[in-house]
Every structure is written in C-alpha cells, then in structure tokens.
Chain A
Amino acid sequence: MGTRDKAPNRQDLLQGTLDLLVLQTLQWGPQHGYSIATAIRAGSNDVLQVETGSLYPALHRLERQGFVKASWETSVNKQRTRVYRLTTSGKKQLTAERSRWETLATAMVGLLSPVKPAGIA
C-alpha cells in the first residue's frame, strides 16, 4: 500500500483516461494496437494523439487486469497482428470508468465554465 498512497493522483488520472479510451474503442469490436491508435485520433478529430509509448503498456496492463483478451490474427494484407477484444469484466470496467469520468467531467466543466451555468441555458 505504501508506495501507492504516496504516489500523486495525476498519473493515475491520465493513465485511467487512456485506459478508458482504449476500452471505449474496443467496445465496437476487436482491434489491434495500430487501429486503436488511429481510431482514437480520428474519433477525437486529431486532438488526441496516442503515444505508442503509452498505448502498448496500457494494452498489456489491461490484459493483465483481465479487462481485455488478446489473440493473434492475420489481416487481409496477410499481416499477422495481435488483436484485443473486450472481456465481460472489461465491459463492466468500461461502464464504471465511464460514469466516473462523466461525474468528473461534469464537475470540471462546472468549475471551469467562465459564466454561471444558468447563463448558458
């Protein structure tokens, strides 16, 4: 417990964000690492650039935690790729993380909004 208690939450948050994005992407079907990265980039209108240096550790971590499952498949281009798919516990995790994120996002939006929420409405 000791080290985790001392560690700042910032990294956890970022890490959690990437994990959430990966799980979200896999929700539509099995994909390999490259396509997950492209999907996140395309889905965010090129705003979110996924670093491969974070993506692969995240994928392997999710696999270890049992949220995703990996298997080797051959693509139409005869390219052997490692394909990840969501597990049942991964789906649950996605739901939990998403609601956590939504709570956080609502709070953040509320805090950061320059005018009172009432003004928007």
Chain B
Amino acid sequence: MKIGPFSSEKRNDELDEELCAHVAMAARDLEERGLSHEDAFSRARREFGNETAIREATKDVWGQRIAEDLAQDLRYGFRGLRRNPGFTFVVLFSFAIGIGANAAIFTLVDATLNRPLPFPDSHRLVVLTDENVEKGRMGQGVSPGNLIDWRADNGVFSGLAGSYARSVVVSEEENSEIVIGAQATEDFFTVHGVRPTIGRTFSPEELEAGMTERVGGSDAGPVVIGERLWRRRFSASPDVIGRTLSLDGITRRVIGVMPASFIASGAEAELWLPWNVKRAYPRLKSVPRDFRFLRAVGRLNAGVTMAAAQERFTTLAATQAHDYPDANAGWTVHLSPLREAIVGETRSTLLALFGAVGLVLLLMSANVASLQMARGAAREREMAVRQAIGVTRPRLIRQLLTEALTLSFMGSALGIALGAVLVRYLLVLAPPSIVAMEGVSMNRRVLAFTLAITLGVSLVSGLWPAIRTSRVALALAFRRSNSGSGSLKLGVRRALVAAQAGISFVLIVGALLLVQSVGALRHVATGFDVENRLMVRVSLNTKKYDTDVKRIAYFDEVTDRLRALPGVVEVGATTVLPMSEGGTDFSRPFWREDRGRPQSGPTPIDVRMILPGYVDAMGMRMVNGRNFDDRDRAGSTDVVVINESFARTTWPGEAPVGKRVVLDYRGGTYPYEIVGVVNDTRYYGPRSDARPEVFIPYKQNAYPALFFVIHSSVPSETLIASAREAVRSVDPRLPAQNVATVSSLVDQRMKAERLAAWLFGAMALIALIMSALGVWGVVEYAVGQSTKEIGLRVALGASSRSVLQDVLWRAVGLIGMGIAFGLILLWPLSLGLRSLLFGVSPLDPIAMLGSIVLLLVVALVASASPAINAARLDPATALRAD
C-alpha cells in the first residue's frame, strides 16, 4: 500500500495529538486530586513513558503487515524461481525480447511521430510542393519565380522562405571535403524560428547582395555553419566568428553557428549561404518559373488553419497558371505540415512494425500465462494446503501476483537494456532528418510506456493464472477430485494456441513479403556491376588546384597510380556515383538545338562529369556511338554522351548520335555534340527508374571532386589500403575521403528493407516455435485426456490410421482457427509495410500460401508424436486406465 506524503503526514499529526490528549487528560485528573498545574503535567508526562518509543511502536503497526507480507511473498517468489531455473529462464527471455523490441520500436515511433520538432511552434510550419497531376509529377520543389510572387502576397504566412541544398567543396590547406550546403532566401532563419548558438544570421544587406560570386579578398561573403561543421573544422572554437572557409574556391567569412538540431534543408546540410533569388539569374530576362527545385517552408499566421492556407494557395496557383501558362499550366501547390513532409511513408512502416512487435509481446504474454497455469496446476496441492490452514484467497492471489510481477519486472529491466541496444540498429528505419535533429534515444516517455506494457504483461501473464490457480486450489481444498477443471483449461489453451498460430501467420506473411522484396531489389537490373568494384572519393583543395590544367594533371596522376595497383582491371571516375550519398548532383535546363528553346520553357537534365574509364569500370556499355577518348579535351569540340532514357525521351525514333543538344550551363547556353549513347543506370537506388542523364568529359569541365571507381580481378576489400595509399602518394595533403565497396553502397539503399525482413523473420521464427510448442502441448494433453475414449474406439474396431488422422485433424483445426484469426490482422499490417515492399503485392498469394503451408507442416510435425502414441494405444491398457 502506498500512502501519499500528505496522508502520512496527517496521520503522524493525528497520532501526536492523540498522545498529547492522553497526557493532558492524565494531568487534569492529577490536578483534581490536588497537585499544582506544573507538578500534575510533569508527573503525567513521566507516567506516560517514552513518547518517541510509543509513537514509533504505534507507527510500526500501520505499515508492518503489508511490508511483512510483501517481503515474505518476494522471498517465496525468488525461492520458487530459483527452484525452477528452466521456467524462470524461458519467462525472463520472453519478456526481455518482447519488452525490449517494443521499447525500441516505441522509441522510434515516439521520436518520429510524437516528439515536438525542434522549432518553436513547429505545428505552424508548412512545406510547399508543386504538383502536376496530369504529368504525374508530385512532391516537386517550387520555382524561384513563383516563390517571389507568393512571398509578396499570400496573406496566410508570417514568413515564407526557400532553400536549395547542393554540394559544396570545402577546402583548406590541409584537407578538402565535399559537404552539403544550402542557399537560403530571405526569412529562412526567421521562418524556422531558430537562433544561432554563436553569432548571427544574415543581415538584410547580406541577403540583398546574395551569393555575389567572386567577392574579392578581404571583403569575403558571409556563411552560417552548422554545429557539426563547426566541431569538425574549427574544433568547436567559441571565437569562430570572422574566420574564413574556402567554399568552391570562394573565401567566406563565418558569421554564425546553428545548433545541431537545426535540420531545415534536408538531413545533411551543414552550411547556409545568403541567396537573393531576384538577382540569381542575371542572364535570364526574368526569374524562372519552370525550374522547380526549391524547398519552400512557410510559417502560418496565428489562427490560420492548414485548410485555409491550402485554399489560398490553390487560388494563387490558379492565377499563376493563368498568367504564366507556359510555365505553370497544369501545376498546383500542395501544402503539408512539416512533420508530415519529413515523415512521409515512414509513418505506416513504423506503425506496422509497432503492431508486429505488439503482437509478439501479446504472444509471449499468452505463452507465459500458459506456462504459469501449467505451473499453477503443479502447485495446486500447495495452494490447497495453504488455504486449508487459513490463508485467504486474496492473500493467495497476492502472493502469486507478486511472483508474476517479480518476473515481469526483472524481464522488463533486461528488456530495457536490450531495447537501448536495439534502437541503435533500428535507426535506419526512422527518417534521417528526425535522427539528425535531436538523436533518437530512450526518454521518459519510453520508460513510462515500458512500465505500462510491463504492468499489462504482468496482468495477462500473472493475474489471470493467479485467479485460476487459487480457484482450483479452493475447489481442491474441499474436494479431492480434479474433474471439470481439465476440460475448461483445454478450451482456454486451445484458444491461446489458435491466437498464437494466427499471430505467427501474420508475421510469417510479413517476413515472406519482405524477403521477396529484398530478393526483387537485389535482382533489379541497375545497369552497372557491383562485383569487385571499389569506390574512392577525392576532393581537391580549390586554392592549390585553381586551374583546370592542375586539376586534370592531379586526377590523371591518381588514375595512373590506381591503375598500377596489382589486380586492377580498369579505373574511372564520376562526379556522382549511382546510389552514393552526397554527390555533386545537379540538373540544368536543356533543349534540342534543331528545335530551339521550347515555348513552354526548358526542362532540366541531370548532368555528370566523367573520366572515360568510368563506363568500363562500372560495367556499363555503350549502346551507340563512342565513349570519350583523348580527342575530347579542353579546346576541342564540346561533346557529351547521353543515356538511353535521354535518347528515348528527347529523340524518340531517331538516332541522337551526331545531333546537338543545348545546355544552359557554365554561364551560358552552348551546344554540345552527342557522340554516344550509354545504357541506363538506376542512380537513386533500385526502386527508382532510370532518369535521363547527360555526361560531359571531365577534361572539358574539370570539377574539383570525383568518385573513383576501381574494377579489379581481386576482391575489392583487399584493395582498400593500397588505394588509400595510392591517393595519398599523389598529394599527402589530400587523403581519400571515403573508401567503400560499390556493393555496400547498393546494400545501403536496401538497409530498411533488409532490416525489416530480418526483424519479421526473427519474430516469425519465435512465433512459429511457440505455436509448435503450443500445438504439441494441447494435442498431447487432449490425447492424454481421451485415452479411454480412444481405447474404446480401437476396441470397437477403429483402425490405428483413423485414430492417427483424428488426432492430426485436431492440430489442423487449431491452425485453421488461427489462420482465420490471422487474416483479420493481416490487412492493416501488410498495408503498413507497403512502402518497404518492392515487386510484390501486400496481399501476395505466394506469401499467404507459403505461410499456411509452413504453419500446417509445423503443426503436423508438432503433433506427430502424440498422434503416433494414440494410434499405438493398446485398448486393453487404455480401458483399464483411470
């Protein structure tokens, strides 16, 4: 019993008052007998005795009983658990896994769907995306031209800002690296409402000046950096303000440091540059409206609802579509809350997993409950004896419950430890921005949740068996007969086993769906080979390597030294490697030279620079025309190689080789001659289709950072050290940044799917084992109970085959019940998994059939031994059995 501080205090005061009253009354009596007031009081107090001792002795009475009982129950409980190490181990293990998995998944769910985002009034932040239902293009960025209009007049936002994340080469004397940086428009920081931890953000003048390139010497433009970059490049120095960084060869002055939780332009952005959209397109007549790439975020005015804002923007978009049909016809704007924009489909995946681990916990509780009942049956005598000597039934239940609680809390403690470890492996399932914002770890809410499920589990696995055991014991105390309780128990156990089978069914289907998806993802034709391919990323110091000639010389040297390594077949390089993170990925407007700039505005094409060896090194092939070679260098005709998708979409039914394409790139619109067509690759992972791409020879555009790809005849892992050394030997100050096998990059893209497949596989296996044990137990028990009946049937001429069939049918019936139950659970679960599935429907018949067959096989195997025993029953012995 818990007594609150208030009531316990009150009780103490009352006791004091009661004892004082005693002394006062004794003194009054003495006074009446003629003593002086003082004498009477001192004598009364003396006769009263030691007040403190009396108070303590009385107080002992209050709590004594319950504390004593509890200590006794705990002692009993522990003794019982020690005596049954097998039982204890199984139960603790079940709870640790069940509660641990739940705590871990809940941690992710809480961080992703519940914890407030680290922006003040984050519920008022809204992400704007362009969508064109007709063209099937949803979730596109917004265009700078449209954004300017919206900023000028929308009436629903207190602020609206855009940003654009791209890679930036940060170089110093010592080391260079590519980081993701964002160009941020006016109001960007105020909309998010986050202040820098050090320094300030951009002033109106700085925002007006924007990223004015080539700011001379001392008058370096400003940059706001993120905490991670600050720690890495400035060792978290507090006087970082005013120090400089070379970004893409331009010196910039640090004016502020944003906290690590400031994740506002994608998970990876580490620096922000001021950007004046109005002045960013000096070569164009107006700011483009057809170039949709901005990440736009607005802050709703107080009192404005999402619906009202959406309505307003639908109107604005309609006006823009009317005023600028070339760029905006068919396009509209979609507003979504920031969290929704960040979380997206992850929500349903997490909830599906949450549901699955919840089912596993339920299953484990049910399993423990049936173990407890089996144990209760064995202890019926003990309980009966205790009741006979006068232990009350509530007291008995309390004792059994204390035992159960001891077990579940010990299991829970193990589970929390396990969960804390698990969370770290499960992070890949949470949206990267959420993980980057404030980390994901167990907090008070997670502990409260764990406590709640522990209590729930204790009730399911403890209270019910406790009540049943004590009731049985009560019956036994008066009657020795055991009849009646058996059949009821069998019914309950059958229901439990059917529920287990149902949960197993759902988990097996989930696992099979995910395994099929991972298989399908692995076999997707990506357009390149991963076997024995190593990736090495190098970025140049743009101060030292300030001309194309120096850069080309450096990369030629690196290529030669890598090629010279033993076992190397071919070496190539590219500005963006398929499926790698943080490459220099960008798109530029283009059009066919023979058709001119389209009326409706040009569309963008992904542009990459490559060294000629890249195509062979990646196992790609030329479909048409030629690869780059020594002819293609600075000063010669500008050439490009395009991929099949580009050829197909822009020159349908024509041969593009020899034709010319105009790119709006490098400060102007120039024509490039197409010399070859290369096969498509899936750049953004196996799930996304190939996109149109154009490749420019490195020697005609020497970008300061490249991914090298080394194809070898030996396993890539063996080359890692020597490749690092080869790069270092060219310029000791430019170490390779990142070395990894290409196959690991591809695996990274399937991390969530693989992890989910593992989780479901493990859960399904556990569930299957429990179901098998459950089926075996029930069938064994049922056969034991009906020994007489079976004996009679055999005596009356039933063949042992029909007895065998009969018993097996019982098992099949159980599983059938379970599957029927499982089918109800299946729908929400597999729909939740949809975003992880690939090449398989959430209700894939193969997965369902496979799961049914697997369960049936397991059930038949589990019931084989009791069935055979039944079939071999000797009727003479069986009929004589009691």
- Residues of A at the B interface (CB closer than 8 Å) are 1-3, 32-35, 37-38, 51-54, 56-57, 60-61, 64, 72, 75, 77, 79-82
Contact = CB atoms under 8 A, between A and B. Distances in A.
A53 B18 contact: no
Contacts, number: 67
A11 to B, nearest CB: 13
Contacts of B235: none
A82 to B, nearest CB: 4
A77 B31 CA distance: 14
Contact of B57 (A57, A72, A79, A80): A57
A52 B48 contact: yes
Contact of A79 (B21, B50, B68, B75): B21
Contacts of A82: 14, 17-18, 21
Nearest to A70: B18
B652 interface: no
A61 B59 CA distance: 10
B54 A80 contact: no
Best-surrounded residue of A53, A54, A61 (most CB of chain B within 10 A): A53
B65 A60 contact: no
B188 to A, nearest CB: 68
Interface string B15-44: 101110110111011000000000000000
A32 B21 contact: yes
Interface string B58-89: 10111001001000100100000000000000
A52 B60 CA distance: 15
Contact of A56 (B54, B65, B75): B54
A34 to B, nearest CB: 4
A56 B52 CA distance: 12
B653 interface: no
B26 A34 contact: yes
B68 A3 contact: yes
Contacts of B25: 32, 34-35, 75, 77, 79, 81
Interface residues of B, number: 28
B49 interface: yes
B356 to A, nearest CB: 45
A60 B24 contact: no
Interface string B192-218: 000000000000000000000000000
Interface of B: 14-15, 17-19, 21-22, 24-26, 28-29, 48-50, 53-54, 57-58, 60-62, 65, 68, 72, 75, 386, 391
Contacts of B58: 56-57, 60
A5 B29 CA distance: 44
A61 B858 CA distance: 60
Given A34-B22, A79-B21, A61 B61 contact: yes
A104 B62 CA distance: 30
A77 B60 CA distance: 31
Nearest to B44: A34
A69 B524 CA distance: 81
Given A79-B25, A81-B21, 14 more contacts: A1-B391, A2-B75, A32-B22, A33-B22, A34-B26, A37-B22, A51-B49, A53-B53, A56-B54, A60-B62, A61-B61, A64-B62, A64-B65, A81-B25
Nearest to A61: B61
Contacts of B26: 34
A63 B25 CA distance: 22
Given A60-B58, A60-B61, A53 B49 contact: yes
Contact of A57 (B18, B60, B65): B60
A32 B57 CA distance: 18
Nearest to A35: B25
B276 to A, nearest CB: 80
B72 A1 contact: yes
Contacts of A34: 21-22, 25-26
Contacts of A54: 57
B737 to A, nearest CB: 69
A65 B277 CA distance: 82
A84 to B, nearest CB: 10
Contacts of A60: 58, 61-62
Best-surrounded residue of B19, B61, B386, B391 (most CB of chain A within 10 A): B61
Contacts of B60: 57
Contacts of B14: 72, 82
Contacts of A33: 18, 21-22
